[in-house]
Structure 1
Amino acid sequence: MSRRVVRQSKFRHVFGQPVKADQMYEDIRVSKVTCDSSFCAVNPKFVAIIVESGGGGAFIVLPLAKTGRVDKNHPLVTGHTAPVLDIDWCPHNDNVIASASEDTTVMVWQIPDYVPVRNITEPVVTLEGHSKRVGIISWHPTARNILLSAGCDNLVILWNVGTGEMLLVLEDMHTDLIYNVGWNRNGSLLVTTCKDKKVRIIDPRKQQVVAVSAPAVSPPPSRCGSPLPLPA
């Protein structure tokens, strides 16, 4: 007679507990845009959240220590002419954040340590090169001032944000919409998921696809909370 072995979960007796009201951020009008992207980004100083905004796109930046009810007139970071779809803090400077939008542009912003009294409307640089909305941005993990963007035009573009220069364009590598892009640890390789159900590993310096998976039975995940796994 076979004996069934039941493996018990290590989290069987672990229970979550809601935080207190004074440790929450309340009354934030989070964006209702249905694009599958990160609506918030956090670094050691700030939390940034994409919010509803009339007449364009915007996000709010709050100091991590400033919890509680957020004033409805709190200044926003606003400059895009269409909804913001993705935001990402620079890993080398806690006061720099990039935003991508339906207006086909990417903007890079300098955030002051103090709370501004009015909206931040002037980006440090505006990056223009996509022909359709941009839903993915990601900073290079080791090289300063290098930012990646991917749009609905099936292009992946690498930028020098210090000069606003387009360093290279990875085109003709994806036959359909790009769902997600991630760097490996040292930034020498990229991994992408695509609507064609394939995962590609790309060497951006050689501008070559070095490996590609067979089509998955079901589509790869669009976006995930952590970077796509890729060996260093």
Structure 2
Amino acid sequence: MSDSPLLNHLLELRTRLLRAILAVVIVFAGLAYFANDLYRLLAEPLIRNLPVGTQMIATDVAAPFFTPFKLTFVIALALAIPFLLWQLWAFIAPGLYRSEKRLVVPLLASSTLLFYGGIAFAYFVVLPLAMGFFTSVAPADIAIATDITRYLDFVLAIFIAFGIAFETPVAIVLLIWSGVSTAESLAKKRPYIIVGAFTVGMILTPPDIISQTLLAIPMWLLFELGLMIGRWYKPAQSESDKEQR
């Protein structure tokens, strides 16, 4: 039948998606018992800087139950990323040329490690500094009582921003490999890249100079790293169209 290949692809896609969902569910089930402990660990940078006698609060009736599980689901999704990427790779690999396969595997691995690195940097460096700054500038007659749900949303926004920003070397390598730009051309645009990094920091992070700066500077350094790595990659050649899959 003419639609058999398409049907086979759809069936394989369904199988890959079901495996991905099952992986997330399994990891979530394994972490669910520790949901409150995980949230306490996430809140540590804030709790450590709260004034004596103050604590976090829950303004919603169901927040003490649902918020830790929301965090647990996000953690399960993050931990399952390597398996999810493997399923994606297994699905698209048959349609790639050999030169593309040689590029995709290291890019998938490095992008995963960089994403985790961005989250780790945000948790161990950015959050303690930001929380210390926020709690220290509060007016003397204002009691600090942060809502647990709002804190989670704030932290997740920080994590996503830094995780994406740390993908800069991967983006640089792809630009060079695809022929969109060259390492020399990107190097000449360094001043604009630095300004752009601070602009992105202003957009992606909460409105405080600490988070913005701590995002912009790593983006700039990662841009330089991407240039160094990108010099080793040659632009994709037209001959790749003639390669056998």
Q: What is the TM-score of this pair, normalised by structure 1? A: 0.23
Structure whose residues are more often helix by fraction: 2
> Which protein is bigger by CA-based radius of gyration?
2
Higher relative contact order (Cα pairs below 8 Å, separated by 6+ residues): 2
* More strand as a share of residues: 1
